[in-house]
Structure 1
């Protein structure tokens, strides 16, 4: 098997290209559900926001969801301590609620009524957010770690790959313990191979896009 090839490009050009791929994959009136997967230090939310900005600027309806707003209550996710790697992988995020309240309603035959946030981690209580109604052909961008390899229904998946050394440099000290957990999951499920679009972002301002 030949080694993958990558095309370097600017962060702006990357967002432009991903927005174009979203538009190409979108089928009105259905929503397009897109995962932008990556560890905290890979900053998948920054990329998802940039893509959303471009989509909205050219008139494409866009919805944004961050996995950080879909945590389980502290009593559940911290049951085995504040830095338990296995708990982080399997018990921190309420993926069932994400599918029930967002991915399902925006999927084929869904109601189109979706919930933007679920849990306020700082206050450790429900956000009580109001449901929104998606316009026909909405592009939903969901960012966060551990999204791929979980059986979640996305039509397009993007993975932002960053090495362990770079992640440790770019992750806030209090969250560095999550890096081995994320990398372990990515290796176990083969995230790089699962992703429809693979971005290498060893340097945040100089990404490279897999081309083959």
Structure 2
């Protein structure tokens, strides 16, 4: 059970009890209150006292739940990644792989532009990229890249492609937010997105080309589904394909 606690100004606030469910409810309430303060008033407004007041708790509750303000901000960053992940649409078999890549990039950029303070926090906290939600989102991106590779569309190594896609989306958001509103031209976002597409994909499936690099990438992308080869054989084949794919 939760219990009301008198405060100096005569009002009462709700202090969490020790049950796991109540603790989680209060934790979520504090995170949402902090995220709301962050978006409305900026990072400097997210003080332990302000968050406690917004959540209807005593300030010491913040320390019990998160350890310190840094722990709270890390939890808010995780909340941001979870919010972004919840808005992702995953098509396991898109009709157009290039358009699917564009759509995923657009979604990431739109989230950043709609949640500027939260987005900035998400990518400034050291523990952000270790969060479960971030890793789940990264798995979705890798799935997109793997489909491109399997179809012979991928121009570069899969890991490099992921880095380019992340860097261009993040750069697009932060550049846009740094500009005066009068200078924010949507053509900038389109140009950055198309530069990303050009950097990571071929105009035509490379598997149709005479060179071995595209075919090597396509074959390498299908290796996880291969059951005929032993683990050692797959490892050796992957090593050869890596060398072939790098020769472009």
Structure having the higher Rg: 2
The structure richer in strand per residue is 1
Structure with larger RCO (C-alpha < 8 A, sep 6+): 1
| Fold shared per TM-score above 0.5 | no
- TM-score normalised by structure 1 residue count: 0.24
The structure richer in helix per residue is 2
